[in-house]
Amino acid sequence: MNAPGKKAPRIQWGMLGGGAKSLIGIVHRIAADMGDDYRLVGGVFSSNATAGVQFASDLELDPRRAYPDVDALIAGEKALAPDQRMRLLTIATPNALHYEAAVKLVNAGFHILCEKPITTSVAQATELARLVRSKGVIFGVAHTYTGYPMVRQLRAMIADGAIGAIHKVHVQYYQGWINPLLRDAGKRRAVWRLDRAQGGDSSCIGDIGVHCFNLVEYTTGLKVERLLADTDTGVPDNAMDVDGSVLLRLTGNIPGVLCASQIATAEENNLQLAVYGRTGALKWAQETPQRLEYLQEGKPLSVLTAGQPYNTPSARAASKLPPGHPEGFTDAMGNLYRGMARAINGEPFDPGAFPGIEAGVRGMRFIDAVLKSAASGNEWRSL
Amino acid sequence: MNAPGKKAPRIQWGMLGGGAKSLIGIVHRIAADMGDDYRLVGGVFSSNATAGVQFASDLELDPRRAYPDVDALIAGEKALAPDQRMRLLTIATPNALHYEAAVKLVNAGFHILCEKPITTSVAQATELARLVRSKGVIFGVAHTYTGYPMVRQLRAMIADGAIGAIHKVHVQYYQGWINPLLRDAGKRRAVWRLDRAQGGDSSCIGDIGVHCFNLVEYTTGLKVERLLADTDTGVPDNAMDVDGSVLLRLTGNIPGVLCASQIATAEENNLQLAVYGRTGALKWAQETPQRLEYLQEGKPLSVLTAGQPYNTPSARAASKLPPGHPEGFTDAMGNLYRGMARAINGEPFDPGAFPGIEAGVRGMRFIDAVLKSAASGNEWRSL
Amino acid sequence: MNAPGKKAPRIQWGMLGGGAKSLIGIVHRIAADMGDDYRLVGGVFSSNATAGVQFASDLELDPRRAYPDVDALIAGEKALAPDQRMRLLTIATPNALHYEAAVKLVNAGFHILCEKPITTSVAQATELARLVRSKGVIFGVAHTYTGYPMVRQLRAMIADGAIGAIHKVHVQYYQGWINPLLRDAGKRRAVWRLDRAQGGDSSCIGDIGVHCFNLVEYTTGLKVERLLADTDTGVPDNAMDVDGSVLLRLTGNIPGVLCASQIATAEENNLQLAVYGRTGALKWAQETPQRLEYLQEGKPLSVLTAGQPYNTPSARAASKLPPGHPEGFTDAMGNLYRGMARAINGEPFDPGAFPGIEAGVRGMRFIDAVLKSAASGNEWRSL
Amino acid sequence: MNAPGKKAPRIQWGMLGGGAKSLIGIVHRIAADMGDDYRLVGGVFSSNATAGVQFASDLELDPRRAYPDVDALIAGEKALAPDQRMRLLTIATPNALHYEAAVKLVNAGFHILCEKPITTSVAQATELARLVRSKGVIFGVAHTYTGYPMVRQLRAMIADGAIGAIHKVHVQYYQGWINPLLRDAGKRRAVWRLDRAQGGDSSCIGDIGVHCFNLVEYTTGLKVERLLADTDTGVPDNAMDVDGSVLLRLTGNIPGVLCASQIATAEENNLQLAVYGRTGALKWAQETPQRLEYLQEGKPLSVLTAGQPYNTPSARAASKLPPGHPEGFTDAMGNLYRGMARAINGEPFDPGAFPGIEAGVRGMRFIDAVLKSAASGNEWRSL
């Protein structure tokens, strides 16, 4: 940990994937820049080594640190003086490549921020978690929505008892973007999410359902203990789920419902969470992320906004601007990077600062349970 | 049917229940008055005959038509000249009394508007439907939400192909009013909905879940073919469902999800419907009933409002005021009365004008299937 | 005043204008019916006597009380026993006819609910007010928006000091309905509001600006002391104002701004009020009338809704339904009728229950001052 | 201009002001980083030279380029090889220091992005504009709101005739942050905006009114030709305007109204624009910047959102993320930086890409005219 008042030096940072015009690459670069905590120095930007070097050159990075693969990256960085090395690597490659890269990086002592899902199987995830713990590296999962100030406010208020004991949870994530692709067999082939070899076993649940799941566990502090799922493929000749509704039972047998769809036609990114407790409720919607609705019995609806002095410390710390100045998706991601920087710089662990490896493992268990429940004729499955 | 241009005389109308300060009585009286179609002339306003006469007197009705019971009403009205008799009776008594009264009235040839649920069992409902058909009376069910202009717009647009073939349905109805009563054993005893003897076998599903169900079948033209339900009683010492999530499969195996709760703490009357089709979607929320969201792929969101020239004829006919002048719950109920008046006056049957006996029977089947699915360990049940 | 607990008999009620398919007639009839306080018995429904009788017949009223003109009405009613006479007359004729009818009715001792503007000049309004006071009749002005529960809540909260001393007022009323008519010279001739002979000297300010003005004075308890206005006719060959912006100074030199337009293209009925005080603010919008926003420094936004136990008594009394059940424009008008019934039945005067003759006179002064300010090159005018 | 496909090298960039914890400094740094177009290399970060060096050190910049003042900066940069020099300077110092610094920088050939107001008098602004033109440098004004995608969409749609000829404009900007400070004489002294020596002659109009003005001229393509203003100081012992309402007449004598307040108690950053044309209207609100309402006569309301394929090219280029992923204030600022980078790199001038020196001069004329109108007893003033 650094001396009080002394700014820690920027953490040298690299990416796996995220090169060229990659949207996720842009988001991560903007997010990492926001807090003056990181300096992008290299990575494996592309599976094509020449393209990776070109990308590094475009960004005016040292092209020698645009490595052709993870092994070369590890070797190259290890050859540098310890204080000249990358310390954090962001993994933003296709899902199927996460596990192997992560294992190598963890073994080499790098910290990791990994896109979700962290692996393609529960077994891999469990093994990776074991390794992370044994090596003592810091591992974050890019559940970006946990970075919004009002999600952190919601989490803190539940913990503070603002709504009493939880007795019902509703979460939904409706998108429509796959719909036009799904119905056009030609276009469909271009969607890697609908290709089991690239996207893994699940499209809807693996991509967006798992965000719902993470958001519930992150904010409520409860665990989903068992679930019963019904999924749908939208059209007969598609093998992947593009829609799913999941009955939940959380710690203490509390009921919940999780609704996800990629064929919710023309919806944009409609993620909503409502948590109902004995005396109040909290509701948040991703498309208006600066607002948090607080319902209390017998009182007017309260609408909390980001950046206000009444925000909880965790929410306050997640806003950079005064109230009424919208902050968005990259700002939320920026808060995950901020949290990881603090951890990397040795500050005490804050479980609300970013989702860790345990959240990654839980997400894999959730996806697995949903797929098995749906395949088995809609039976309850434990996580 | 009346001569063209000639206004039909007002239909003499009576109520079972709805006396004194009864809220539902007030709603029905305002609704029936709106179209100049009815004249309230009497009824069985109270289980206490003296109170019923007093109520009639307060309303300046002929106290001789404030009958002590249904038998007396039938006898009294039959003693009048045919054109002096009540023709429509609204049944707004406790649920357990619906069936017996309805059977008597139908046998006597009266038309009926009945609060839901129409009976306390599927068997009764089926029998009542048989009787209604054989007697040729007009029977409406007070699914008030079908009376909103934008619900009718939604229904017509789906029928016109505005969203293409439906592939996903989401409906939710969240209320919180039972929550504070549920947790207070003393207060709970005063809630007839939580008393099986008065309210029937179901609280949440029977009271509000069935509105969701009706709204889905009314607007989509599809049938719920099977369902799988998980219900909850909120507290251990309560025997009635106060929360339920239901997986649906509609005609053609289309997936749906129905979420209902009476312990969605501090929610008011948050009923929302979203229907997703191949090319578009339609979304409506009861608390802002004048708006209908129309989502189309690749186009801006369209927000239709009531009273506009572009409304479908069915929606247009359901608005009395110019755009921007809010119409509400009693106006929606008024549209059911309007529709029934037209049917009573001999106009051709319009299946969108009011939910009929078939909708009442379907609702009973739905409640029954939910309860059985929940009781059986969450198995699929056919309707 | 009536004995406690004893319901007063229905007040016999008549209308001037509002016959046939008249929208305003429908609104008034629904509104008057809502509280079981009135019984429509006759009126002068049309300038065409035969049409008036036909209308009465359609409504199943005694056709002898469908009078050809006001004089006949007064004579006919006076010929009845006192307890058989109409007591309240609603004036819903073209504006230019209000004054003469009102004077006759007041002289004859009838109570009046008059559409606004109550006359076509300040002088007439002042004279009418003098007469109303001298005769002791009850006179209401149909500023319907004052009947919404949340407007009454807003008024009561300001009076209770919820926002501290007022220091700024913003009110706007944007409609677009005149726009397409204005630009089509053929259609324009059919718009009586744009014809000085029928509509009076002002279109926009006289029709909707005056509602803004009334709402400000009704809710804040302040008076508009002076104003400076800029009006516009939209197209060169139109002589009437269809748009106006007005700078206000209220009691204590408090600044305000009033924005009105009938060419706010495609707006429906977008009336909004915001009152800012030293410690808080209150905001209301007519198109979502069940909501009231309460802003407090350093606290989350509070959204109050109608029908809640926390409503002020005046707001609570103005809701018939539970929270979440929309009530609308006719319900608001119904609350004015309720208030007048109480006054007619001898209850103590409640200045919040309905706008009286003073509000009518103030409205005329406002219209006059706006027109004079605009005509004089935008100078300040006192009211 | 660069070869096609070849990314231009990063532009070396510096700041005047914006050091330490400065909020505006953070916003500019995030914004400039977003497009990979700039590299922060130095500046005059503080009026305290040591603090400036410390800040540069914290950011890991070369401390030799943390200059003590503008003269030193110019001398230092000129001493570098041409391709090693700063090319763009952002001026984020107190208003009173803008002019002198800008003149020096322009004379030395630097491009400038200047916070508004660009000077403290019209004369200075006019002179600066003359100088900018004669030197051929690129000069941008930080009217951040013009950087939102939906503001650009609005502008493009008006130009494309989507609403027909404009006939009415409404713009408002309501904030409440000064209110608690204003009323506390002790706190008030700490508010530089309320101190004429630091903030210039105007608080409300100079700070936020001018954003309204700029937004109107930027989006409509019309000029405000004359205005009449009423301003208020909120409390008697304050000399600066904290509230103002302004009547506008735009090119062609089109009426408009501009409402601004810093004592709109508890408002956050409520900036709204509505432009009404003959056939349609466009409405935008800064607190929900991703939405644009498009009203058309006789059609449903259209709600356009950012990032959609149907966006105009200018709006599309201003979004980085897919629809439904909120972008906010720093993203809007980032678009100004993007636009300036293109201009600096030699791309053809795009008047929609960022507000230039002419917009800065217009803003000064607006502030001047408002203050003179208010001081002269609310007379019309030409710009």
- 10-residue mean pLDDT series, chain C (383 residues): 66 95 93 95 96 95 97 98 97 93 98 95 97 98 98 98 98 96 85 81 95 98 98 94 98 98 98 98 98 98 98 97 97 98 94 96 98 96 96
Would you say D113 and D63 are in contact if contact means Cβ atoms under 8 Å apart?
no
CB contact under 8 A, C310 and A299: yes
| Tens-place pLDDT, residues A203-238 | 999 999 999 999 999 999 999 999 999 999 999 989
Q: Which subunits have 3 or more CB–CB pairs within 8 Å of chain A?
A: B, C, D
Residue carrying structure tokens 């009945």: B114
Query: Inter-chain contact A10–D305, Cβ cutoff 8 Å?
Result: no
3-class DSSP state for residue D13? Answer: strand
| Closest Cα in chain B to D303 | B301
Residue B219 CA to residue B226 CA, distance in Å, equals: 18
Distance CA D43, CA D38 (A): 14
C245 with D257: Cβ contact below 8 A: yes
C-alpha closest to that of C98 among C133, C139, C136:
C139
CB-CB under 8 Å, B294 with D308? no
Reported ipTM: the value is 0.96
Residue B2 has pLDDT above 50, yes or no: no
Yes or no, beta carbons of A300 and C310 under 8 Å apart:
yes
Select from B57, B177, B321, B335 the residue whose CB has the most chain C CBs within 10 Å, as the one to mutate to test that interface: B321
Percentage above 70 pLDDT, chain D: 99
**Residues of chain D where predicted confidence (pLDDT) is lower than 70:** 1-5
Per the CB < 8 A criterion, the answer to whether A52 and A44 are in contact is: yes
CB < 8 Å to D373, chain C: none
Interface contact flag, C303 A300, Cβ < 8 Å: yes
pLDDT class for A3, splitting at 50, 70, 90? very low
Fold category of A11-144 in CATH: Rossmann fold (3.40.50)
CA–chain centroid gap for A323, Å, is 25
- In chain A, residues with a C-beta closer than 8 Å to the C-beta of C297 are none
In the predicted model, is pLDDT for residue A2 greater than 50? no
d(CA B241, CA B351): 32
Name D139's bridge partners: D112
pLDDT at C5: 58
Q: Two tokens at C224?
A: 């508009």
Place of tokens 């803190």: A156
The domain defined by C148-322+357-382 folds into: Dihydrodipicolinate Reductase; domain 2 (3.30.360)
A43, pLDDT greater than 60: yes
pLDDT tens string A148-169: 999 999 999 999 999 999 999 9
Inter-chain residue contact D280 with C267, CB threshold 8 Å:
no
Give DSSP secondary structure letters for C240-253.
S--EEEEEEEETTT
Please judge whether C247 and D243 are an interchain contact, meaning their C-beta atoms are less than 8 angstroms apart.
Answer: no
CA–CA gap between residue D199 and residue D214 (Å, rounded): 19
Q: Which residues of B touch D (CB under 8 A)?
A: 294, 298-305, 308-310
Q: Give residue limits of the domains in chain C.
A: 11-144, 148-322+357-382
A295 and B265 within 8 Å at the Cβ level: the answer is yes
Q: Tally C–D CB contacts below 8 A.
A: 125
| Euclidean distance between CA atoms B261 and A275, whole angstroms | 12
Q: Please give the average per-residue pLDDT across A249-267, as a whole number.
A: 98
Asked if C168's CB is within 8 angstroms of D243's CB, the reply is yes
Topology alike, domains A11-144 and A148-316+356-382: no
**The length of chain A, given as a count of residues:** 383
Comparing CA positions, the residue from A371, A357, A376, A359 lying closest to residue A128 is A357
Tokens (6 digits) for B27:
């709603």
Placement of tokens 């053609």 in the chain: B252
> Cα–Cα distance between B310 and C180 in angstroms, integer?
16
- The amino acid present at A335, given as its one-letter code, is N
CB B50 within 8 A of CB C344: no
- B268 and C36 within 8 Å at the Cβ level: the answer is no
Reference B58, options D307, C8, D294, C51; nearest CA is C8
Contacts of A261 (CB under 8 A, 6+ apart): A173, A174, A175, A176, A204, A242, A243, A244, A267, B168, B276
Distance from CA of A170 to the nearest CA of C (A): 20
- Start-to-end C-alpha separation, chain D: 37
A323: nearest CA in chain D?
A: D268
Choose among C255, A143, B331: nearest CA to D262: C255
State CA B74 to chain mean position distance: 25
Question: Is a pLDDT exceeding 60 seen at residue A305?
Answer: yes
Q: Does residue A82 register a pLDDT over 70?
A: yes
Split at pLDDT 50, 70, 90, the class of B184 is confident
pLDDT (0 to 100) of residue A184? 87
User: How confident is the prediction for chain A on average, in pLDDT?
Assistant: 95
pLDDT digits (tens, 9 = 90+) for B27-73: 999 999 998 999 999 999 999 999 999 999 999 999 999 999 999 99
Rounded to an integer, what distance in angstroms lies between the CA atom of residue C339 and that of residue C322?
Answer: 21
Q: Which residue of D has its CA nearest to B305?
A: D300
CA of D292: which chain B residue's CA is closest? B300
Nearest chain C residue to B319 by CA: give it: C23
Tell me the shortest Cα–Cα distance from C17 to chain A, in angstroms.
Answer: 42
- C-chain residue closest to D170, CA distance: C259
CB contact under 8 A, C298 and A309: yes
Strand partners, D209: none
The pLDDT, as a whole number, for residue D5 is: 57
From the list D27, D50, D227, the residue with the least C-alpha distance to D145 is D27
Amino acid at C209: G
**pLDDT of amino acid B3:** 46
Q: Determine, for residues A259 and B170 on separate chains, whether the beta-carbon distance falls below 8 Å.
A: yes
Between strands B111-114 and B38-44, the pairing is unpaired
Q: Which conformational region is residue C342 in: left (phi greater than 0), alpha (psi within -120 to 50 degrees), or beta?
A: alpha
Amino acid at A375: A
Tell which CATH architecture fits domain A148-316+356-382: 2-Layer Sandwich (3.30)
CA distance D72 to D41: 15
Q: Judge: C300–A299 Cβ closer than 8 Å, yes or no.
A: no
Minimum CA–CA partner of A59 in chain D: D36
CB burial of residue A309 (10 Å; 0-12, 13-18, 19+): exposed
**Contact residues on chain C for A308, CB-CB shorter than 8 A:** 298, 300
**Cα dist. C94→C114, C205, D278 in Å?**
11, 16, 29
Task: Please indicate whether, in this complex, the C-beta atoms of C257 and D257 are within 8 angstroms of each other.
Answer: yes
**Three-class secondary structure of residue D88 per DSSP:** strand
The answer to whether the CB atoms of D301 and B298 lie below 8 A apart is no
Distance CA(C317)–CA(B269), nearest Å, equals 20
Find the length of chain D. 383
Q: Rounded to whole angstroms, how far apart are CA atoms C54 and C56?
A: 5
Dihedral sign from CA coordinates of C223, C139, C25, C353: positive
β D88-91/D11-16 pair status: parallel
Q: With an 8 Å Cβ cutoff, are A302 and C302 in contact?
A: yes
Which pLDDT value is given to residue B33?
A: 93
Task: Identify which of B180, B264, B276 has the shortest CB distance to residue A265.
Answer: B276
Chains with 3+ CB–CB pairs under 8 A to C are A, B, D
pLDDT at A5: 57
C-beta separation of D256 from D227 below 8 A: no
Distance between D141 CA and the closest CA of chain A, angstroms? 19
- CATH number (3.30.70.360, 3.40.50.150, 3.30.360.10, 3.40.50.1370) of D149-319+357-382 reads 3.30.360.10
Task: From chain C, pick out residues whose CB is under 8 angstroms from the CB of B9.
Answer: 60
Max CA separation in chain B (angstroms): 65
H or E segment at A282? strand A280-285
Band (pLDDT 50/70/90 cuts) for residue B200 is confident
CATH T-level fold of B149-319+355-382: Dihydrodipicolinate Reductase; domain 2 (3.30.360)
- In whole angstroms, give the CA distance from residue A327 to residue B15: 56
- Of C27, C36, C325, nearest to B59 by CB-CB distance is C36
Task: Give CA–CA dist C304/B379, Å, rounded.
Answer: 42
**Which residues in B lie closer than 8 A to residue A263 (C-beta atoms)?**
167-168, 276
Contact check, Cβ <8 Å, A298/C305: no
Q: In chain C, which residues have their Cβ closer than 8 Å to the Cβ of B45?
A: none
- Chain C residues within 8 angstroms (CB to CB) of chain A: 294, 298-305, 308-310
User: How many Cβ atoms are within 10 Å of D23's Cβ, its own excluded?
Assistant: 13
Q: What's the pLDDT at A20? A: 84
Mean predicted confidence (pLDDT) in B356-378: 97
Give contacts of C249 with chain D, Cβ < 8 Å: 230
* Angle at alpha carbon of residue C133, lines to C129 and C137, rounded to 5°: 105
A325/D269 Cβ within 8 A: yes
Residue A121 has pLDDT above 80, yes or no: yes
Give the CA dihedral C216, C217, C220, C223, nearest 10 degrees. Answer: 120
Angle CA A8–A10–A11, to nearest 5 = 105
Spatial distance between the Cα atoms of D88 and D102, rounded to a whole number of angstroms: 12
Distance from CA of C380 to the nearest CA of D (A): 9
In chain C, where do the E strands start and end? Answer: 11-16, 38-44, 88-91, 111-114, 139-141, 166-174, 224-232, 243-250, 254-261, 270-277, 280-285, 291-296, 301-305, 381-382
Mutate to test the interface with D, among A329, A337, A345 (most CBs of D within 10 A): A329
Number of neighbouring beta carbons within 10 Å of residue B240: 24
- Using alpha carbons, select from D142, D205, D201, D202 the residue that is nearest to residue D171: D205
Among C301, C305, C310, beta carbon nearest to A303: C301
Specify the pLDDT at position C144: 98
| Closest of B295, A266, A264 to residue B303, by C-alpha | B295
Chain C: give the shortest CA distance to residue D265, in Å. Answer: 6
The pLDDT tens digits for B119-148 are 999 999 999 999 999 999 999 999 999 999
Distance from CA of D130 to the nearest CA of A (A): 34
Looking at beta carbons, which residues of chain A come within 8 Å of D23? Answer: 320-322
Contact A255 B243 (CB under 8 A): yes
Task: Go through B269-295 and write b for each residue having 16 or more CB atoms within 10 A of its CB, e for each that does not.
Answer: bbbbbbbbbbbbbbbbbbbbbbbbbbb
The DSSP letter of residue C34 is T
**Interchain proximity B287–C39, CB inside 8 Å:** no
Question: Which of A150, A153, A129, A152 has the alpha carbon at shortest distance from A141?
Answer: A129
Q: Identify each DSSP E strand in A115-253 by its residue range.
A: 139-141, 166-174, 224-232, 243-250
CA D276 from chain center: how many Å?
A: 24
CB contact (8 A) between residue A305 and residue C301: yes
Encode C39-63 in three state secondary structure. EEEEEECCCCHHHHHHHHHHCCCCH
Disruptive mutation site among A292, A302, A304 for chain C (greatest number of C CBs within 10 Å) = A302
